[in-house]
Structure 1
Amino acid sequence: MTNRRTFLTQAGLVSAGLMVSPELLKAMAKDRVVGLQLYSLRDQIKTDVKGVIAKVATAGYKEVEPFGYSKADGFWGLNANDFSKLLKDNGLSTPSGHFEFDSFLGAGKTDELKTYIEAANITGMKYVIVPHLNDAYIKTVSDFNNIADKLNNAGELCKQSGLKLGYHNHNFEWKPVDGTTFYDTILAKTDPALVSMEMDLYWVVRTGQDPTAIIKAHPGRFFAFHIKDMDKANHEKNTEVGNGTIDFKSIMGYAKLGGIKHFIVEQENYTDIDPYVSIAKSCAYVKSILNV
Structure 2
Amino acid sequence: MTQIDKPPEKRRDSQSRFPKEKREMRMNRRQFVGGAAAVAVAGVMGRMAWADPLGLPIGIQLYTVRDPMMKDTVGTVKQIAGMGYKEVETAGYGTIKTAAEFRKVLDDAGLKCPSAHLQWDINNLQKSFDDAKALGCKYATASVPKQLIQEKLTKSPAEMSDAERAAWRAKMVAPLTGDDFKKLAEVMNKVGEEAKKNGLVFAAHNHTMEFALVDGVPGYDYLLKNTNPANVKFEIDCGWITVAGYKPGDYVKKFPGRIKMLHIKDFSSWESGKTGESAKGTEIGKGKVDYKAIFASVKGTGVEHIFVEQEAPYTLPPLEAAKADFDYLHSLS
Q: Structure 1-normalised TM-score?
A: 0.80
Question: Which residue does 2:258 correspond to in 1?
Answer: 221
Question: Which residue does 1:172 correspond to in 2?
Answer: 209
Q: CA deviation at 1:90?
A: 0.6
Question: Which residue does 1:81 correspond to in 2?
Answer: 100
Q: How does 1:124-203 map to 2 (within 5 A)?
A: 124-132=136-144, 133-134=146-147, 139-203=176-240
Question: Which residue does 2:115 correspond to in 1?
Answer: 96
- 2:287 partner letter: G
**Residues 114/243 of structure 1: CA separation in 2 closer, same or farther (3 Å cut):** same
Contact map agreement 2:285 2:328 (CA 8 A) in 1: yes
Question: Which residue does 1:16 correspond to in 2?
Answer: none
Q: How does 1:1-292 map to 2 (within 5 A)?
A: 32-68=56-92, 76-101=95-120, 103-104=121-122, 109=123, 111=124, 113-132=125-144, 133-134=146-147, 139-232=176-269, 236-289=279-332, 291=333
Write the distance in 1 (CA, Å) between the matches of 2:218 and 2:198.
31
Which piece of structure 1 moves more, 126-135 or 243-252? 126-135
Contact map agreement 2:207 2:241 (CA 8 A) in 1: yes
**Residues 90/204 of structure 1: CA separation in 2 closer, same or farther (3 Å cut):** same
Unmatched 5+ residue regions in structure 2?
Answer: 1-43, 151-174, 272-277
Q: CA deviation at 1:83?
A: 1.1
- 1:245 partner letter: K
Say what the alpha-carbon RMSD is for the aligned residues: 2.6
Q: CA deviation at 1:267?
A: 0.6
Question: Percent of pairs identical after alignment?
Answer: 34
Q: For each residue in 1:114-149, what CA deviation from the matched residue of structure 2 results, as whole angstroms up to 9, or x when unmatched?
A: 111111112110011111125976854333122111
Q: CA deviation at 1:164?
A: 0.3
Which piece of structure 1 moves more, 140-149 or 201-210? 140-149
Q: CA deviation at 1:270?
A: 4.0
Q: CA deviation at 1:49?
A: 1.0
Which piece of structure 1 moves more, 46-55 or 197-206? 46-55
Write the distance in 2 (CA, Å) between the matches of 1:139 and 1:248.
28
Unmatched 5+ residue regions in structure 1?
Answer: 1-21, 70-74
Residue 94 of structure 1 aligns to a residue whose secondary structure is strand
- 2:137 partner letter: M
Write the distance in 2 (CA, Å) between the matches of 1:85 and 1:141.
43
Contact map agreement 2:176 2:209 (CA 8 A) in 1: no
Residue 126 of structure 2 aligns to a residue whose secondary structure is helix
- 1:223 partner letter: K
Q: For each residue in 1:41-89, what CA deviation from the matched residue of structure 2 results, as whole angstroms up to 9, or x when unmatched?
A: 11221232111111111122111111136xxxxx632322221111111
- 2:128 partner letter: Y
Write the distance in 2 (CA, Å) between the matches of 1:202 and 1:258.
19
Q: For each residue in 1:183-209, what CA deviation from the matched residue of structure 2 results, as whole angstroms up to 9, or x when unmatched?
A: 011110011110111000010111111
Contact map agreement 2:266 2:282 (CA 8 A) in 1: yes
- 1:57 partner letter: A
**Residues 256/193 of structure 1: CA separation in 2 closer, same or farther (3 Å cut):** farther
Write the distance in 1 (CA, Å) between the matches of 2:180 and 2:289.
32
Paired residues in the alignment total 256
Residue 307 of structure 2 aligns to a residue whose secondary structure is strand
- Please say which structure displays the higher CA radius of gyration: 2
Q: Structure 2-normalised TM-score?
A: 0.70
Which piece of structure 1 moves more, 230-239 or 208-217? 230-239
Higher helix share: 2
